[in-house]
Amino acid sequence: MPPASSSAKVLRTVSHAASAVARWLLTLGISLLGLLAVTFVIGRLVPIDPVLAVLGDRATASAYAETKILLGLDQPLYVQFGIYLRDVFSGNLGTSLLTARPVLDDIFRVFPATLELATIATIAGCLVGIPLGVAAAVYHNRWIDHVSRIIGLLGSSVPVFWLALMGLLLFYAKLSWVAGPGRLDPVFDGMVDARTGSLLLDSLMAREWDVFFNAVSHVILPAGILACCSVAYVSRMTRSFMLDQLNQEYITTARAKGVAEWRVIWQHAFGNISVPLLTVVGLTYSMLLEGSVLTELVFAWPGIGSYLTGALLNADMNAVLGSTLVIGVSFITLNLVIDALYRVLDPRTR
């Protein structure tokens, strides 16, 4: 009897796990299909003729008609969408008009720069924002709490491009504490092979210390500007979560039992907010991945934001749609991964 019961329990566990994976894959598939449909509609509704974008304004009527057929634009809309789906799932996002290279190759070249910038900004934002939010909750309505709320207000309301310009003016032009725009000084170009796409990691692996410290000097300011935005959001949410937990009865009970205050704060209260805080960090990372366009423009950072902006200004719709699709897929995948981790770490959500 016990072995049969144990076997049934294992089967139920496997069934639940398979069902969860199937739901996760279905959600991912529907989300990606919706994203593909949106990007396709955008590509067809924008007031830019893709044929003229390829041939130029002086194209002859015969060349125009031939190119239109070649691009499949003479087909019904549903047929065009089917062709678009086939090309996307085969890894073909078209050819960029600006670079004359496949869009997917261009994205693989520029996306690591955005990933590096967003990762550093997220880490810095969490290292500052989480302790600041905890301190603001513990010392509620004291000076550290007021400072935290001011930082949150400024970080949420001050335009990021203004912060970037002021940062360049002060720390680069006036004080010369950091390097200027770009990822690297021209003298160091080509000294490190692009293995991962991250200059910091590649220069570390190659032990090119001059390149590494120059890359650090370039990344400090743009990452710091983005970190200001993440600090504002992370500290505000951490403070809110901690205030809610510190007012719970189990905290009063722990203090009445004589539990050390640091254990009450970090082990009991912070332990209970760590899982929802994971969602906050994930959302922050997602927002920095897709929202670093202005920062990249100000600092001439060769990431996907700069690439997308250049494509928009030059009516390069293949690059625009490809970049939008990759950013959207990254956002959806990251959020689904965070949701999966949330379910693993918190049994109540299963």
Asked whether residue 4 carries a pLDDT value surpassing 60, the answer given is no
Same domain? For 242 and 111 the reply is yes
Position 98 in a domain:
no
Dihedral over Cα of 259, 260, 261, 262: its sign: negative
Q: Would 212 be classed as within a structural domain?
A: yes
Residues 6+ apart with CB under 8 A from 332: 28, 31, 32, 35
| 335 and 234 within one domain | yes
Q: Which one of 23-32, 57-66, 127-136, 198-207 scores highest in mean pLDDT?
A: 127-136
pLDDT value at residue 120: 92
- Same domain? For 75 and 133 the reply is no
Residues 168 and 83 in one domain: no
pTM: 0.82
Instruction: Give the number of domains in the chain.
Output: 2
pLDDT value, residue 132: 93
pLDDT in tens, 17-68: 677 778 877 877 787 788 778 877 877 777 777 777 777 777 788 888 887 8
Domain boundary among 56, 89, 122: 89
194-220 burial: b if 16+ Cβ within 10 Å, else e = eeebbbbbbbbeeebeebbebbbbbbb
The answer to the question of residue 96 being in a domain is: no
The first and second tokens of residue 243, run together, are 């205030």
Q: Is residue 17 part of a domain?
A: yes
Listed residue (214, 215, 233) closest to 287, CA to CA: 233
Does some domain include residue 100? Answer: no
CA distance 236 to 148: 8
Helices (H), 75-208: 77-89, 103-138, 143-157, 160-167, 199-206
Mean pLDDT, the chain, whole residue set: 83
* Whether the Cβ atoms of residue 156 and residue 233 lie closer than 8 Å to each other: yes
Reference 325, options 24, 34, 122; nearest CA is: 34
Distance CA 265, CA 242 (A): 9
Full residue range of the structural domain in which residue 318 is found: 107-349
- 200-203 long-range CB contacts below 8 Å, 24 or more apart? 200/116
Indicate if 118 and 221 belong to the same structural domain: yes
Q: What is the pLDDT of residue 254?
A: 86
- Min mean pLDDT across 1-10, 113-122, 246-255, 322-331 is at 1-10
Pair 233, 321 in one domain: yes
Q: Rounded to the nearest 10 degrees, how much is the dihedral formed by the CA atoms of 280, 283, 289, 291? A: -100
Indicate which CATH number applies to the domain containing 114: 1.10.3720.10
For 210-254, how does the pLDDT look when each residue is reduced to its tens digit (9 = 90+)? 888 988 899 999 999 989 888 988 999 999 999 999 888 888 888
Please state, in angstroms and rounded to a whole number, the distance separating the CA atoms of residues 129 and 152.
9
Considering the domain architecture, whether residues 118 and 63 belong to the same structural domain is answered as: no
Residue 183 inside a domain? The answer is: yes
> In terms of domains, do 180 and 237 share one?
yes
Which of residues 31, 57, 89 is at a domain's end? 89
pLDDT tens, position by position, 155-166: 878 888 888 888
Given a cut of 50, is residue 1 above it in pLDDT? no
Residues 82 and 114 in one domain: no
Last residue of a domain, which of 55, 89, 123? 89
Chain centroid offset of residue 175 CA: 31
> Percent of the chain at pLDDT above 70?
95
Could you tell me if 46 and 310 are in contact, meaning their C-beta atoms sit under 8 angstroms apart? no
**CA angle, residues 97, 100, 101, in degrees to nearest 5:** 120
Same domain? For 169 and 274 the reply is yes
Q: Is there a domain that residue 152 lies in?
A: yes
Mean pLDDT in residue range 304-320: 82
Residues 261 and 325 in one domain: yes
The whole-number pLDDT of residue 130 equals 93
Q: How far is residue 59's CA from residue 206's CA, in Å, rounded to a whole number? A: 50
Residue 234 lies in a domain: yes
Residue 347 pLDDT > 70: no
Same-domain status, 282 and 308? yes
Task: Tell me the HSE value of 321 on the side-chain side, using a 13 A CA sphere.
Answer: 29
Tell me, what's the pLDDT at 341? 78
Q: State percent of the chain over pLDDT 90.
A: 9
Using the predicted structure, report yes or no on whether residue 86 has a pLDDT greater than 70.
Answer: yes
